[in-house]
Amino acid sequence: MNGIILVNKPKDYSSHDVVNVLRRYLKTKKIGHTGTLDPDATGLLVLGVNHGTKIIKYLNNDIKEYIAEICIGSSTETLDKTGEVIDTAVVKDLENVDEVIASFKGIYTQTPPMYSAIKYQGKRLYEYARKGITIPDIPSRDIEVFDIERISDIVYKEDKAYFSYRVLASKGLYVRTLSYDIGKKLGYPSHNYELHRTKAGKFKIEDSYTLEEIEKGNYKLISLPDALDELQTVVIHDDFRHHIKNGMAISLRYFNKHTLTKIVDEDNNLLAIYDKHPTEPKMKAINIYKRTE
């Protein structure tokens, strides 16, 4: 049982909770995930099973798509509805909403929230936040927003406004911060009210399984070569197999491009991942795939 499994994470489960549940259902300890989702968020979680954990690093840089619901009129310390309210304002009639949302398309400089797992001087930011310590100089980072649009009507309720939007962006986006920044640009305190991840690279929520389905055995693993189908593929014959098993470099003449390449045997089993040697005209085995198990 080696591969990638797509899970539709339910609310009130942390990503690590899902890993623990799958370890029980699939009877293996070797399970890891890409792209953490907060407990209050739902949607697509990509997990590696057994040897699938070895390729997680190649799946974690993909673009992600989210459906978010924003609450305009109050902000919280966590930037989502789980936190304590720290500011409020009466909202009656929002203007230029679509223009403001569209303004975030392109390169968007974002400061990660204090309640996040980003490390600062050796500690997670949420560790400081839980002690009431504010870090004034959290490093900002550039996120590329490929597409963003409002996908619902604006609903006014109890002096607040709610609407949903879809965003497709590069790795590292904190939607909680994006929702806060949208509200700020509209002139109001705000927070992220609901969050649902729908895509992670080529993987889609439509192809995922609930925990109940997985418990009943109603699921299918994605094979390692299929999960890495965007990489160049080289099929190695049996007489070269010992080279791969021992992590030996391979001449570039066996490769069409000097790029990250997956090596498979004639039965399409993933044996290794190779990259161009930085100083020699060879492809070099990288990471833990330099020896197959």
Residues involved in catalysis: 38
User: What 3-state class would DSSP assign to 244?
Assistant: helix
Cα 205 from Cα 225, distance rounded (Å)? 20
User: What 3-state class would DSSP assign to 179?
Assistant: helix
Looking up tokens 């161009």 gives 276
User: What 3-state class would DSSP assign to 265?
Assistant: coil
Of 164, 146, 144, nearest to 155 by C-alpha is: 164
Q: How far apart are the first and last CA of the chain?
A: 13
- Please count the other Cβ atoms lying within 10 Å of the Cβ belonging to residue 7: 26
Q: b/e map of 236-248 (b: 16 or more CB within 10 Å)?
A: beeebeebbeebe
Cα 6 from Cα 4, distance rounded (Å)? 7
Q: Which two tokens stand for residue 93?
A: 């009639």
DSSP code of 30? -
- Please count the other Cβ atoms lying within 10 Å of the Cβ belonging to residue 90: 9
Looking up tokens 């968007």 gives 108
94: Cα separation from own chain's centroid: 31
